[in-house]
Amino acid sequence: MHSSDRDRILLAAVVFAVLFSQLLLYPGVATLVETLGAEATASPFAESPLDASMWFLVSEFAAYVAFVGVWGLASDAVGRRRPFIVAGALAGAVGYAALAAAPLLGGVPFEGVLVLRLFQGAMTIGAFSLTMTMLMDLEGGHGRNMGAAGIAIGLGAALGAPVGGQLTELNPLAPLVVASALLVCVGALVSFAPDRTGGSRRSARALVEGVRRRPTLTIPYAFGFVDRLTAGFFALVGTLYFQDAFGLGPGTTGLMLACFFAPFALLQYPMGVLSDRIGRTIPIVVGSLCYGVGILAVGAAPTVATAAAAMVAVGVLGALVSPATMALVTDIAHERERGIAMAGFNLAGSLGFLGGFLIGGTIAGSYGYGSAFLAVGGLEILIALVAVPLFLRLSVDRSEPFRASDGSDD
């Protein structure tokens, strides 16, 4: 096995473990926040189970937004990835463990729980984003490398949701304990992957200016934002919708989420390889358009069976879009600016998750689930339509899929 292939598998395993640990909490989030002390009479952030769940998820992604750029900038400036990933993973493990211990200590207000969640998110995003950057550093094709990242993300989410639902039924705090243990394993596993950055140092100013010279990065960032918004929407609103509309428990809800994440995961790698062959336009633009229609179909499904089938279709379409979008970031970014470029993508994605929680939760609470599905699905369709002239103008095709990473312009 070639060293790049071996490292691709190892780094994908790290990405899987981080996402798996994150998704463990989602199916039983309403039960978890109640166990952590979310009471309407004690906290303005817990006026309802939906509010408490929303703020618990939002706090993690607020930390992602605030710190993902810091991790990426620091890594590019120093010319190293691995030490930062180890530090982020171990500190994130401490954050998960502290959350699990909060109910046992007693007297920790829900606001304090949200502060711990902020710390855990700020550390975890370093391990996640920089591991994806290490995949960007590998040879073998950008679509292939980002397909490996995508299949790891999808499998982590696909397996994390149902396992998390089962763990919640055993003990609401069990997902936190397992997540903490997994991040300790991440810190150990990533030490076997070599840094491929070359160790060159650059100033923060030079890095920021380098990214600013590539405004086309805003295209994959915009798609990343909307795609992650839909994921955040399903993680919160979708979870509660399935439970309210069909009377599902946490375990069955996790299986419903897996109907999306299983095909989303398993098809990422072949779809990434496909985008290397045919370019990024068709997977991103056409895939996003169909993806938005699929989201509308989930909200309109009258039964559990039809909703599950629609979730499978959405998962397939998401697998078409995701690796091509991430590969487009690698196509555009200079090799010495990949840390901050991927940080920008993950920043856009984290803002998207926040938007999914806040926009989806607010619309669902005020106008109902149907309106929330319509808004989110419509937004995915809209960005695909808006992007068509941008892709045509920039001639994104099989012969030149935004190849800007050879440093010829420096």
Residue 182 neighbours by CB distance under 10 Å? 23
398 in a domain, yes or no?
A: no
Region 122-140: what's the mean pLDDT?
87
Residue 83 has pLDDT above 70, yes or no: yes
**pLDDT tens profile 334-357:** 777 777 777 788 888 878 877 887
> Given 3-state DSSP classes, what are the helix, strand and coil percentages for the chain, each rounded to the nearest 5?
80, 0, 20
In the chain, the number of structural domains is: 1
Within-domain flag for 409: no
Residue 338 resides in a domain = yes
Q: Is 403 exposed, middle or buried (0-12, 13-18, 19+ CB in 10 A)?
A: exposed
Q: Is residue 240 part of a domain?
A: yes
pLDDT for 324 equals 87
What does the pLDDT read at residue 306? 94
Prediction pTM value: 0.73
Residue 406 counted as domain residue: no
- In this predicted structure, what is the pLDDT of residue 121? 94
For the beta carbon of residue 66, count every other beta carbon within 10 angstroms: 15
What sign results for the dihedral spanned by CA atoms 186, 191, 195, 200?
positive
The predicted model gives 275-295 an average pLDDT of 87
Percentage of the chain lying above the pLDDT 90 cut: 27
Q: Which residues contact 207 (CB under 8 A, 6 or more apart)?
A: 73, 76, 77, 336, 337, 340
DSSP 339-407: HHHHHHHHHHHHHHHHHHHHHHHHHHHHH-HHHHHHHHHHHHHHHHHHHHHHHHHTT-STT-SS---S-
For residue 91, pLDDT over 90 is answered with: yes
Can you give the pLDDT at residue 396? Answer: 43
144-183: pLDDT as tens digits: 788 888 888 878 877 887 899 899 989 999 999 999 999 9
Burial of 120 per CB tally in 10 Å (0-12, 13-18, 19+): buried
End-to-end Cα spacing for the chain = 34
Question: Tokens at residue 78, please?
Answer: 């120093």
Nearest 10 degrees: CA dihedral of 152, 154, 156, 161?
180
How confident is the prediction for the chain on average, in pLDDT? 83
Question: Does a structural domain hold residue 224?
Answer: yes
Q: Indicate the range of 36-40, 61-65, 166-170, 318-322 predicted with least confidence.
A: 36-40
Which pLDDT value is given to residue 399? 41
State whether the Cα torsion 40-41-42-45 is positive or negative. Answer: positive
DSSP designation for 44: G
Whole-number pLDDT of residue 232? 80
Secondary structure of 109-156 in the HEC alphabet?
A: CHHHHHHHHHHHHHHHHHHHHHHHHHHHCCCCCHHHHHHHHHHHHHHH
Q: How far apart are CA 345 and CA 330, in angstroms?
A: 10
CA separation for the pair 270, 54 (Å, rounded):
34
> 204-222 pLDDT, tens per residue?
555 556 556 667 778 888 8
- The whole-number pLDDT of residue 227 equals 84
Q: Is 266 exposed, middle or buried (0-12, 13-18, 19+ CB in 10 A)?
A: middle
Of 287 and 46, the one with more pLDDT: 287
Q: Which domain holds residue 38?
A: 3-393
- Residue 210 has what pLDDT? 56
Assign residue 301 the CATH number of its domain: 1.20.1250.20
227 domain residue, yes or no: yes
404: pLDDT strictly greater than 80: no
The residue among 88 and 75 whose pLDDT is bigger is 88
Q: Which residues contact 72 (CB under 8 A, 6 or more apart)?
A: 129, 130, 133, 339, 340, 341, 342, 343, 344, 346
Residue 196: pLDDT over 80: no
